A = this chain, B = another copy of it.
Amino acid sequence: MMRAGPSQEEIRKHNLGTLLRHVHLGGPTSRAELTSLMGLNRSTIMALTADLTAAGLVREELPKDTGKAGRPSLVVRPESSRVYVLAFDVGVDRLAAARVGLGGVILDRRVALRQRGSFDMPQVVAILAGFARQMLRKTRPDTICVGAAAAFCGAVRKSDGVVRIGPNIGLEEMPFGEELSGKLALGLPVNVGNDANLGALAEHTRGIGLGCRDLVYLHGDVGIGGGIVVNGQLLGGFAGYGGEVGHMIVNPGGRPCACGSRGCLEAEVGERALMEHAGRGGGEAVGRDGVRSVVDAADRGDVVAQEALHGVGNWLGLGVANLVNIFNPEMVIFGGTLREMYLGSAAQVRSQINTGTLGASREHLRLRTSGLGDDAPLLGAAELAFGKVLADPLDVLSRQTS
């Protein structure tokens, strides 16, 4: 709620952030377009652009040949190679770190496979901080890091970014962001978010869900996570644990789930269920490769693999149908290993949606696979990390360079 009228300084800060966000999300944008997008006059846009240019956040240049006669409007582009954030992704069996430039460009990245099993925080923090140091060592002296954030395959408390994880999930507390921040020693906090939530944010911001104000993103790893955008905002819930659609019960009394319940979406549709139905329960390829091998086998006519995929697809479709009734989304996006699973069982998924949802709720629905692939959570973490500089561009910069 707006209280008193904003001061001139607040308006300027807001306008600087808005302009920077436009070029961060939309890429190179002409002054003329910015004038129209922001509803400000040309001289104000010029002044804002000059401030951001002086701060080294954007630069102005002549556009590539426009094919039109006359003097072209200068194009404002983000200083992607100069201004960046550190983004991290802690998956069940993969660790990733990246330097992501303003505008969402991945400038550098490091990936390591992780042994499944118990989570060794000091080890994970050491690996990620090591990756960060390697990447920082390669940067030019005039570059500047304006934030850091991590996507994590667990429930994350909104108030302080603490990861909640444990035998039944939700009991132990792990100050992962604080530990990583300490190890990085850059004087920057590391914000933390759930990986599926951040995947949803990335797909909404610069992926296949661009322009959709209401979408559901389903992320398959070992389990299934969800990130939901409601009216343009990520659904967090009271404490930040919203979107745990993997534990929606779709088959009461069904397969046991790691959470202690039975018949959860992730128990029926997760990687383990698929592998077991396909007769590959023991020791064969797991993760993305395992899922892909079943899809490939089904494509080649392997009846057991086909039936496994179709069975899993029916449960997936039932879960998606429930979410369509609940959210009336414009788009459902399948990410992580669910991309392959969905592609191998799209008919079953669609059929369950057609019988299990209200006509009105599904009439504008689009089903899509992730546009950003495995990078979705990492790019979502980058967006989280860019939050501060977009909210107050000059302040963040003055802190970092002072």
Known A-B contacts A231-B236, A243-B326, A249-B318; the reply to A170 vs B3 at CB < 8 A is no
Known A-B contacts A38-B3, A355-B261; the reply to A244 vs B328 at CB < 8 A is yes
- Specify the chain B residue showing the minimal Cβ separation from A173: B360
- Specify the chain B residue showing the minimal Cβ separation from A171: B359
Please provide the chain A residues from 1 to 56 with a CB less than 8 Å away from any CB of chain B in the complex.
Answer: 1-6, 8, 11, 14, 18, 38-40, 44
- Bound together, the chains give a CA A155 to CA B5 distance in angstroms of 39
Please provide the chain A residues from 147 to 198 with a CB less than 8 Å away from any CB of chain B in the complex.
Answer: 155, 157, 164, 166, 168-171
B251 in contact with A250 (CB, 8 Å): no
A64 at the interface (CB under 8 A from B): no
- Bound together, the chains give a CA A364 to CA B159 distance in angstroms of 14
A213 at the interface (CB under 8 A from B): yes
- Bound together, the chains give a CA A357 to CA B241 distance in angstroms of 11
A241 in contact with B3 (CB, 8 Å): no
B39 in contact with A3 (CB, 8 Å): yes
Interface centre among A11, A242, A358 (most CB of B within 10 A): A358
Residues of B within 8 A of A169 (CB): 358-360
Residue-wise interface mask of A (227-270) relative to B, using a CB-CB cutoff of 8 A (1 in contact, 0 not): 01011010111111111110111111000000111000000000
Contact of A360 among B18, B40, B170, B249 (CB under 8 A): B170
A361 at the interface (CB under 8 A from B): yes
Residues of B within 8 A of A251 (CB): 252
Contact-residue size bin, chain A (C-beta under 8 Å from the other chain)? 35 or more
Q: How many copies does the complex hold?
A: 2
Residues of B within 8 A of A73 (CB): none
- How far apart are A243's CB and chain B's nearest CB, in angstroms? 7
- Bound together, the chains give a CA A242 to CA B215 distance in angstroms of 12
A-B contact pairs, 27 of them (CB 8 A): A2-B18, A3-B38, A4-B38, A4-B40, A5-B11, A155-B361, A168-B358, A170-B359, A170-B360, A213-B238, A230-B233, A230-B242, A237-B328, A237-B361, A238-B328, A238-B364, A239-B364, A241-B328, A241-B358, A242-B326, A242-B328, A244-B358, A248-B322, A248-B326, A249-B322, A249-B356, A323-B326
